[in-house]
Structure 1
Amino acid sequence: MKALIVDDEARVRKAVRLLVDWEAHQIDEILEAGNGNEAIQLIRKDKPALVIMDMMMESGNGIELMTWVNEFAGSTKFIVVSGHNDFDFVRQTVRHGGIDYILKPIEADMINHAVSKAVAAWRSEEEERSHRQRQSIRLNEIKPIYGEKLLSALIDDPINAEASLRRLTGDGIIAKDAETSRLILVQTDSGNNPLLQRFGGDNELLYYAIVNICNEFLHQPNKGIAFRYWGGPPEIAIILWNPEESIVELISRINQGIYRTLQFRMHFGISTAGAFPGQLPAQRTEAAETLLRRNLLRHEDYCHFPAAGEDNKAAGSRESNPSVSGTPLNFADVQEDWRMAVISGNPEGLSDAAQHWTHELSRRGVVTPQMLNSWKADALLFRSRLVREALGSEADSALAELELDDKQHPAPLPSGYSFSLFAWRDWSLALMRSLSRVILVRQIKERNPITDIVKYIEQNYPSDLSLQEVAGKFYVSREYVSRRFKQEYGINFSDYISSVRIEKAKLLLQNPHLKLSQISEMVGFHDVKYFSKVFKKQVGQTPKDYRAELN
Structure 2
Amino acid sequence: MKVLIVDDEQHVREGIRLLGEWKENGVSQVLEAESGEQAIQLIEVYKPEIIFTDMKMPEVDGIALLEWIKNNHPTSKSIVVTGYDDYHYMRKAIHFGSMDYILKPIDPGILNDTLVRAVKDWEREEEDRQQHNNSHQLINEMKPIYRDRKLTQLMNNQLLNAAIYKEFGFHLSQQYQVAIIRVDQKAVYAFQRDRDLAYFSILNIVNEMLHEEKCGIAFRYLSNKGEIVVIFWDHFSRVQNMLETMHKNMKKVLEVCCFIASGPVINNLENLMLSYNGAKEVLMNINVLDKNPLKVYTESQINRLAIINLIDYSSHVKEAVQLGQQELFEEIISTISEGFQTHRYLSLKQLLHFEKEYQLMSQQWLKKYEISYIVNEKGEEVVYFFFNDEGCFELQRYMNRKRKEIHLFMKIVKRHAKKQNPDVIYEIEQFLQANFDRDVKLQEISDRFYLSREYISRKFKQEFNENISDYLVKVRMNKAKQLLRNEDLKVYEVANMIGYQDDKYFRKVFKKIEGVTPNEYRTAIRVSTT
**TM-score, length-scaled by structure 2:** 0.69
Deviation at 1:26, TM superposition (A): 1.7
Q: How does 1:199-278 map to 2 (within 5 A)?
A: 201-278=193-270
Which residue of the partner structure matches residue 96 of structure 1? 96
Structure-2 separation of matches of 1:152 and 1:415: 30
1:173 to 156, 169, 173: 169
Partner secondary structure for residue 412 of structure 1: helix
Structure-2 separation of matches of 1:446 and 1:232: 42
Which residue of the partner structure matches residue 361 of structure 2? 382
1:303 to 296, 305, 314: 296
Deviation at 1:203, TM superposition (A): 1.6
Deviation at 1:67, TM superposition (A): 1.3
Aligned pair in 2 of structure 1 residues 167, 349: CA closer, same or farther (>3 Å)? same
Partner secondary structure for residue 57 of structure 1: coil
Partner secondary structure for residue 26 of structure 2: coil
The runs of at least 4 aligned residues of structure 1 exceeding 4 Å deviation read: 168-172, 327-330, 332-360, 384-388, 405-410, 414-418
Deviation at 1:375, TM superposition (A): 0.9
C-alpha RMSD of the superposition: 3.4
2:399 to 425, 446, 465: 425
Which residue of the partner structure matches residue 415 of structure 2? 441
Structure-2 separation of matches of 1:72 and 1:133: 19
Which residue of the partner structure matches residue 292 of structure 1? 284
Which residue of the partner structure matches residue 477 of structure 2? none
Which residue of the partner structure matches residue 373 of structure 2? 401
Structure-1 separation of matches of 2:308 and 2:400: 18
Which structure 2 residue ranges, 5 or more long, are not aligned? 423-530
Aligned pair in 2 of structure 1 residues 114, 363: CA closer, same or farther (>3 Å)? same
2:49 corresponds to 1:18: no
Partner secondary structure for residue 81 of structure 2: strand
2:345 corresponds to 1:366: yes
Q: Is the 8 A contact 2:191 2:197 kept in 1?
A: no
Partner secondary structure for residue 226 of structure 1: strand
Paired residue type of 2:348 = P
Aligned pair in 2 of structure 1 residues 108, 353: CA closer, same or farther (>3 Å)? farther
Deviation at 1:381, TM superposition (A): 3.7
Partner secondary structure for residue 45 of structure 1: helix
2:130 corresponds to 1:130: yes
Structure-1 separation of matches of 2:165 and 2:420: 72
Query: What CA deviation, in whole Å up to 9, does each residue of 1:170-216 have, x standing for no partner?
Result: 5472324x11111111111134354221xxx4322321222221122
Deviation at 1:444, TM superposition (A): 4.5
2:262 corresponds to 1:280: no
Deviation at 1:302, TM superposition (A): 1.6
Structure-2 separation of matches of 1:297 and 1:440: 35
Aligned pair in 2 of structure 1 residues 346, 39: CA closer, same or farther (>3 Å)? farther
Q: Which of 242-251 and 368-377 deviates more?
A: 242-251
Q: Is the 8 A contact 2:355 2:383 kept in 1?
A: no
Paired residue type of 1:79 = I
Query: What CA deviation, in whole Å up to 9, does each residue of 1:349-370 have, x standing for no partner?
Result: 9888767755653343122221
Structure-2 separation of matches of 1:426 and 1:5: 77
Q: Is the 8 A contact 1:341 1:350 kept in 2?
A: yes
2:156 corresponds to 1:185: no
Structure-1 separation of matches of 2:392 and 2:5: 63
Q: Is the 8 A contact 2:247 2:296 kept in 1?
A: no
Deviation at 1:408, TM superposition (A): 12
Q: Which of 144-153 and 218-227 deviates more?
A: 144-153
Partner secondary structure for residue 440 of structure 1: helix
Structure-1 separation of matches of 2:364 and 2:77: 79
Query: What CA deviation, in whole Å up to 9, does each residue of 1:283-338 have, x standing for no partner?
Result: 212212221111101142422223x3xxxxxxxxxx23364xxx865536876886
Query: What CA deviation, in whole Å up to 9, does each residue of 1:440-480 have, x standing for no partner?
Result: 322444699xxxxxxxxxxxxxxxxxxxxxxxxxxxxxxxx
Aligned pair in 2 of structure 1 residues 189, 366: CA closer, same or farther (>3 Å)? same
Paired residue type of 1:117 = R
Structure-2 separation of matches of 1:332 and 1:144: 43
Partner secondary structure for residue 271 of structure 1: strand
Partner secondary structure for residue 269 of structure 2: coil
2:303 to 299, 303, 321: 321
Which residue of the partner structure matches residue 74 of structure 1? 74
**TM-score, length-scaled by structure 1:** 0.67
Aligned pair in 2 of structure 1 residues 402, 231: CA closer, same or farther (>3 Å)? closer
Q: Which of 137-146 and 254-263 deviates more?
A: 137-146
Q: Is the 8 A contact 2:182 2:226 kept in 1?
A: no
Q: Is the 8 A contact 2:66 2:96 kept in 1?
A: yes
Partner secondary structure for residue 220 of structure 1: helix
2:56 corresponds to 1:56: yes
Q: Is the 8 A contact 2:181 2:227 kept in 1?
A: yes
Aligned residues: 418
Deviation at 1:423, TM superposition (A): 5.0
Which residue of the partner structure matches residue 472 of structure 2? none
Q: Is the 8 A contact 1:271 1:305 kept in 2?
A: yes
Aligned pair in 2 of structure 1 residues 8, 283: CA closer, same or farther (>3 Å)? same
Paired residue type of 1:331 = L
Structure-2 separation of matches of 1:410 and 1:98: 63
Structure-2 separation of matches of 1:33 and 1:349: 91
Structure-1 separation of matches of 2:165 and 2:381: 45
Q: Is the 8 A contact 2:187 2:258 kept in 1?
A: no
Q: Is the 8 A contact 1:180 1:276 kept in 2?
A: yes
Q: Is the 8 A contact 1:270 1:305 kept in 2?
A: yes
Deviation at 1:252, TM superposition (A): 1.5
Q: Is the 8 A contact 1:345 1:433 kept in 2?
A: no
Deviation at 1:233, TM superposition (A): 2.8
Query: What CA deviation, in whole Å up to 9, does each residue of 1:460-509 have, x standing for no partner?
Result: xxxxxxxxxxxxxxxxxxxxxxxxxxxxxxxxxxxxxxxxxxxxxxxxxx
Structure-1 separation of matches of 2:259 and 2:230: 13
Aligned pair in 2 of structure 1 residues 31, 270: CA closer, same or farther (>3 Å)? same
Structure-1 separation of matches of 2:228 and 2:378: 27
Q: Is the 8 A contact 1:189 1:415 kept in 2?
A: no
Paired residue type of 1:425 = M
Partner secondary structure for residue 279 of structure 1: helix
Structure-2 separation of matches of 1:150 and 1:415: 35
Q: Which of 329-338 and 209-218 deviates more?
A: 329-338
Partner secondary structure for residue 174 of structure 1: coil
Q: Is the 8 A contact 2:184 2:258 kept in 1?
A: no
Partner secondary structure for residue 411 of structure 1: helix
Paired residue type of 1:429 = R
Q: Which of 188-197 and 354-363 deviates more?
A: 354-363
Deviation at 1:439, TM superposition (A): 1.6
Structure-2 separation of matches of 1:184 and 1:297: 21
Query: What CA deviation, in whole Å up to 9, does each residue of 1:92-135 have, x standing for no partner?
Result: 22222212222333332221111111112212222222233333
Partner secondary structure for residue 218 of structure 1: helix
Structure-2 separation of matches of 1:82 and 1:334: 98
Aligned pair in 2 of structure 1 residues 229, 167: CA closer, same or farther (>3 Å)? farther
Which residue of the partner structure matches residue 412 of structure 1? 383
